[in-house]
Structure 1
């Protein structure tokens, strides 16, 4: 396992070096931005897999309302800066093990390898369209492997539900019934535990607000997942840009002391 993680670190370093080299070339050209040609030479294609944070995005019931407002302006102060206040699990975000397990690692204790993954994308859009409470199953995982080969160790296994199409409608996104029970797809605990036990799982990702189905108030999947160095990624966007296998994911965010997670910028590196 150590050798695999070390190999991953070398791969991540290679990506970073390519980015720096390409960036240096672009900046030498005068505009400080990578061109599509430079990106293609370095790592194929890079895409965003995260939403833009706004004050009207869907916020989990009870979480702090986001506030984004100017603190300084160019006109009055000579520079522009905003004050941003939001919960650690607002917008696209990652969760640290301490989010559901008090004795596990907080955000500031996770290693860098907890934020770089081979991406495995399991498409359950058709099933989620028929059943908003659908949970990605072990059978879905087995069908994926039959079609695509063995899931690599330390993968970020992503359930592609299509739910991010509801992002601009918070009511539809959380899909609460008359008893305030939410109904959105998630990932089943049986599939999660199998991936932990048999595939050295790195993390779980999804385009809904939780890796647990909205109706599961026991948070069984999160509780099983968030141990060791594993994280979750929630409220992902643009998953249609990723192939079923072969891409890599790099996760950014804020490493708050004793943090439970962070709003995230998630990048997909396509082959």
Structure 2
């Protein structure tokens, strides 16, 4: 399993796909919106995936084997909030909606990417602020209705190094970028947005102790994405995002497959 996981991280690795599957794919009449370039914004999920401090890493346990059962499968043990994943409102809000209650039409929308990489070079605790939103709008126009806005801090480059990705200091406090409360309050008051996201472990900056962004955003029935991958391959404007969240009954979160169409 470790070898399979490592191969999946290798950009040169091509999985074996059956001829019948490829024939079916090639015969599929693609909707016009899906004829663009497809980008996967999902990190590979495995035992080495970084987790939020205090959470247990993902674990695979063999349930059946080819030699004993004629087939192979695993029992998957992981926290809901592992890898590239969605935070449902109930994650922080006791009476908030769970993953299975999020309407499917609220899991896709125009993708907006806010680039704060320059500030993060000098401040690992940098956050998205209202000026970042206004600066984006000055260049690309007003944020479209029902948009999904993702912070690109450049932090994804550390994903393969758990220590660097969590970036914990000598006092045990993590340091990585996130959203500011003022930025999400601005969106709630002045824009129509379905969800926000980050390329780090948390919507809130790592050093946050009371999670103001989670509490403010999720309390309005909205969701967030964490550990978003490959944002350098997405333009600031013009892409469309599909969020493939598992429909887990009562779930506070779910690993997701994020598919962007450019």
- Identify whether the pair has TM-score above 0.5, normalized to the shorter chain: yes
Cα distance change of structure 1 residues 59 and 198 upon mapping to structure 2, 3 Å threshold? same
Q: Secondary structure at the match of 1:250?
A: strand
Cα distance change of structure 1 residues 265 and 140 upon mapping to structure 2, 3 Å threshold? same
Indicate the residue corresponding to 1:169 in structure 2: 161
Matches within 5 A, 1:1-271: 31-34=23-26, 42-270=34-262
| Corresponding pairs, count | 244
Q: Provide the C-alpha distance between the structure 1 equivalents of 2:228 and 2:236, rounded to a whole number of angstroms.
A: 15
Structure 2 residue runs without a partner (length 5+):
1-17
Q: Provide the C-alpha distance between the structure 1 equivalents of 2:256 and 2:33, rounded to a whole number of angstroms.
A: 26
Displaced runs of 4+ in structure 1, greater than 6 A? 26-29, 37-41
The Cα offsets for residues 19-63 of structure 1, whole Å up to 9 and x where unpaired, read as xxxxxxx9888644459x979984201111011111011111111
Q: Provide the C-alpha distance between the structure 2 equivalents of 1:78 and 1:245, rounded to a whole number of angstroms.
A: 49
Q: Provide the C-alpha distance between the structure 1 equivalents of 2:119 and 2:35, rounded to a whole number of angstroms.
A: 33
Q: Provide the C-alpha distance between the structure 1 equivalents of 2:32 and 2:193, rounded to a whole number of angstroms.
A: 29
Cα distance change of structure 1 residues 93 and 219 upon mapping to structure 2, 3 Å threshold? same
Is residue 105–residue 228 contact of structure 1 (8 Å, CA) maintained in 2? no
Query: Cα RMSD over matched residues?
Result: 2.2
Q: Provide the C-alpha distance between the structure 2 equivalents of 1:30 and 1:132, rounded to a whole number of angstroms.
A: 44
Is residue 34–residue 261 contact of structure 2 (8 Å, CA) maintained in 1? no
Is residue 49–residue 238 contact of structure 1 (8 Å, CA) maintained in 2? yes
Normalising by structure 1, what TM-score? 0.84
Q: Secondary structure at the match of 1:215?
A: coil
Cα distance change of structure 1 residues 34 and 96 upon mapping to structure 2, 3 Å threshold? farther
Is residue 58–residue 77 contact of structure 2 (8 Å, CA) maintained in 1? yes
- Which deviates more from structure 2 when the two are superposed, residues 255-264 or residues 230-239? 255-264
Q: Provide the C-alpha distance between the structure 2 equivalents of 1:217 and 1:117, rounded to a whole number of angstroms.
A: 31
Is residue 98–residue 252 contact of structure 2 (8 Å, CA) maintained in 1? yes
